[in-house]
Structure 1
Amino acid sequence: MLDDVQFKHYRNEVNGITMHYVMGGKGDAVVLLHGWPQTWYEWRDVMPMLAENNYTVIVPDLRGLGDSSKPAIGFDGNTTASDIYQLVSDLGFNTTHLIGHDIGAQTGYSYATAHPNNVSKLVVIDYVFPGLLSNLSFAEPWWFSFHRTLDLPEALVAGNEREYLSWFYRQLAYNPYSVSEEAIDEYVRQYSAPGGMRSGFEYFRASANDATMNNETSRDKLAMPILAVSGEVSPFGGGDAKPNYSLESAKRLANNVSEIIMPFSGHWIPEEQPGPLADLLVKFFSDKSQHPSSNETGTGTSQAIEDLIKTIDNDSLIASNASHADNLSSVVSTEQTTPILSANLSTGPAQDTPVQTSMPLAGPASDETLSNMSISRNVSSDQRTSVNTTEKQTDGLLANQMTVLGNGSSNESARDMEGQVSQNQSEDNMAGQESIADQGTPLSEAIEAISKLFESKNGG
């Protein structure tokens, strides 16, 4: 039962760094690897649902991110995979299921190539593996090149972390408010810490190294089953007869790759559709079929995996969307509301008496356990249209709250700019969504200018 599941914070010395992780449950090991710009916290809604299905769930902060230490080097896939492998081994597990989202997918793949006999199944979520799409016309999003530029991103983003990071949470989602304000608070807290943004950018700067290694390792296809998941609205393509480059690159990893598009989701799948994703993971882990049947190359989707997406409870998809509509309402309202999910973890000792963190999180006091979380999977069935009807109100509020580059942080300056909100729709988001990048603030204009510069550089 979920009420019996407790998750706790730990620290462990691995591979020359101090790694923070959260762990709970009993059974086979499942390791959840977060993406950028996130931390372990992105998995908070998925963790208990896996644990209640008899898995030991291990959720680390990758090196340099969250509450893990921030070294100057070692952000390539091989090094980060070595971090995780040592952690899993120290915890006494010989094999594990690996799930990686975004940059966490690179770590997961590198782990699987280095230790193929120690990985039962691998799941990669919405990530384009560097070096594997040379035969396709994949135009990188502008921020890839920007983040690889030495020192400049750190200098421009310093003091404006919330505004910069929020742009990604809004723009790359199916529902622009599916990443809650509580989650954004937590991510901003972590990435605003000394070295937080730099460490995040270092993962992009390591991509050339990853590309070289991926080219080499992908020649020997992985034998374990792989599930590749992308969102219905992904920044990496799909729709309008364009290939989904996330899925295309995943096909290069193994001979047994199943592909699924998650409905009603963008890039932030663990936060946009946590219930359906958890259902899918549990069914994938328990699926005994080993060989897809779709084509000669062995990639595609097995009949068993095709059936998985059909069995995902549609009510949980609706509940997730309704929860995000509630998030939108909480942004519009000035009243403090109880968060849908309060991921606050026990600080008591656990196995091997590891050192525990005292990180503050949204919600009740930190001595409460994750078992007390309230997971809203059956709330009202408000649909995606409810978001569109209130977006203009929220856009105005967000404009008021922005820290304005070059003009200080006064609300008066922000209000003066409120009337400049463009009505242009974002091509990368759902119909009716107004692009936050077009709101007319100096920060938005800076992001737009930077994006055009690096898109031009990339030939996009």
Structure 2
Amino acid sequence: MHPRRADRPDASSVLLAGPWVHNDYSTNGVRLHVAEAGSGPLILLLHGFPQFWWTWRHQIVALADAGYRVVAPDLRGYGASDKPPRPYDVMTTAADIARLVSAMGEREATLVGHDLGGSVAWTVARFRPDVIARLVILSAPHPRRWRAALVSDFKQIGASSHVFGFQTPRIPEQRLTRDGAVEVGRLMTEWAGERWASTVDFAEARERYQQAMLIPQAAYGALEHYRWAVRSLPRPDGVRYTRRMSIPVGMPTLQLHGAQDSCILPTTAQGSSRYVSSTYEWQTISHTGHFLPEEVPDLVTGEILRWIKS
């Protein structure tokens, strides 16, 4: 059963209280909602699918306490940020984030991205290296690795069956929001590591993400990112993007990946080092699945701080 629009939560439902403040910034023609805390050098935390800024609730507090200004935006189409009809290509989303840095009165940031946010972070680093000091990538291959795997790696094609299922109009939105967005919970259960999936924290987070996907137009926005990623593969805009991404990024890059990640296979993400011309480090995190910021929050926080200070 689909909830009636009047029964659905609105964007205010993701303005969750905590030791942070909620702000809106105008950037690249859209309004982005952020949760932020602390003062000092800027750290930007970019969430993935099917989540919103809440992914980073542990890191926001810990990194702010360590002396940083920590900002976790909702990407366009998600949470309390604008959900325009278009565009949802990764270059536009990357421009949102690059311009967010200046909109907040900052010159550069350490950029941390998970899943979709990782793809956006790779793209910002390539298109706007002037605003990025260091890069931390979680559960996300370099875009050229992922785009190649979608057409050549049968194991990753199978793991990405949901992405191909997102390509038709309207029906995927209905499937994603049916019965209280139970499909969101199913995907999270499938992709999470066993240890986290059996906890109360996982059950609570899953409920948060299901509710957030019921915000009007949130499912559409979330899916449009993936529609562009697949549909652009043979198109001129996608070919140009892939070609530009062949040039390595020039800032120190740390890449973390869960050993049990069944959404983005570790073998797909490995090899991203060829697209980094600066210091690069890869870590496989044992006993973890796709959702590293929540499955191993202390480890992720510690690695971000180590990478910034190294």
Alignment TM class, shorter chain as reference = 0.7 to 0.9
Residue correspondence of structure 1 range 327-346 to structure 2 within 5 A = none
Equivalent of 2:24 in 11, 14, 28: 11
Q: What SS does the corresponding residue of 2:178 show, helix, strand or coil?
A: coil
Tell me if the contact between 1:10 and 1:22 (Cα under 8 Å) persists in the aligned partners.
yes
User: Which residue of the partner structure matches residue 336 of structure 1?
Assistant: none
**Amino acid of the residue matched to residue 237 of structure 1?**
L
User: Which residue of the partner structure matches residue 112 of structure 1?
Assistant: 125
Cα distance in structure 1, aligned partners of 2:296 and 2:62 = 13
Residue correspondence of structure 1 range 46-445 to structure 2 within 5 A = 46-132=59-145, 134=148, 137=153, 139-140=156-157, 141-175=160-194, 176-178=197-199, 180-208=202-230, 209=232, 212-235=239-262, 236-238=264-266, 244-248=267-271, 250-256=272-278, 257-287=280-310
Cα distance in structure 1, aligned partners of 2:240 and 2:143 = 9
Greater relative contact order structure (CA < 8 Å, 6+ sep):
2
Cα distance in structure 1, aligned partners of 2:66 and 2:293 = 17
Cα distance in structure 2, aligned partners of 1:130 and 1:124 = 12
**Amino acid of the residue matched to residue 38 of structure 2?**
G
Cα distance in structure 2, aligned partners of 1:68 and 1:233 = 31
Gaps of 5+ in 1: 239-243, 288-460
Question: Following TM superposition, by how much is the alpha carbon of 1:213 offset from its aligned partner in structure 2, in angstroms?
Answer: 4.7
User: Which residue of the partner structure matches residue 10 of structure 2?
Assistant: none
Tell me if the contact between 2:180 and 2:211 (Cα under 8 Å) persists in the aligned partners.
no
- Which structure's CA Rg is the greater one? 1
**Amino acid of the residue matched to residue 34 of structure 1?**
H
What does the per-residue CA deviation read over 1:210-255, in whole Å, with 9 as the maximum and x for residues that have no partner?
85355222332111111111002012334xxxxx21233x224212
Tell me if the contact between 1:170 and 1:177 (Cα under 8 Å) persists in the aligned partners.
no
Question: Following TM superposition, by how much is the alpha carbon of 1:161 offset from its aligned partner in structure 2, in angstroms?
Answer: 4.3
Q: What SS does the corresponding residue of 2:265 show, helix, strand or coil?
A: coil
What does the per-residue CA deviation read over 1:345-398, in whole Å, with 9 as the maximum and x for residues that have no partner?
xxxxxxxxxxxxxxxxxxxxxxxxxxxxxxxxxxxxxxxxxxxxxxxxxxxxxx
Q: What SS does the corresponding residue of 1:160 show, helix, strand or coil?
A: helix
Cα distance in structure 2, aligned partners of 1:29 and 1:237 = 30
Cα distance in structure 1, aligned partners of 2:220 and 2:96 = 19
Gaps of 5+ in 2: 1-17
1 or 2, which has the higher helix percentage? 2
Tell me if the contact between 2:143 and 2:245 (Cα under 8 Å) persists in the aligned partners.
no
Question: Following TM superposition, by how much is the alpha carbon of 1:6 offset from its aligned partner in structure 2, in angstroms?
Answer: 4.2
User: Which residue of the partner structure matches residue 299 of structure 1?
Assistant: none
Cα distance in structure 1, aligned partners of 2:92 and 2:136 = 19
What does the per-residue CA deviation read over 1:117-172, in whole Å, with 9 as the maximum and x for residues that have no partner?
22111111112344436386253221010012222211333423432011111111
Question: Following TM superposition, by how much is the alpha carbon of 1:286 offset from its aligned partner in structure 2, in angstroms?
Answer: 0.6
Tell me if the contact between 1:232 and 1:263 (Cα under 8 Å) persists in the aligned partners.
yes
Change (3 A) 1:97 1:20: same
User: Which residue of the partner structure matches residue 437 of structure 1?
Assistant: none
What does the per-residue CA deviation read over 1:81-126, in whole Å, with 9 as the maximum and x for residues that have no partner?
1111222101111111000100001111111112112211111111
Q: How many aligned residue pairs are there? A: 277
Q: What SS does the corresponding residue of 2:153 show, helix, strand or coil?
A: coil
Q: CA RMSD in A?
A: 2.0
What does the per-residue CA deviation read over 1:16-51, in whole Å, with 9 as the maximum and x for residues that have no partner?
222100111111100000000000001001111111
Cα distance in structure 1, aligned partners of 2:216 and 2:174 = 13
- Normalised by the length of structure 2, the TM-score is 0.83
Change (3 A) 1:157 1:59: closer
Identity of aligned residues (%): 25
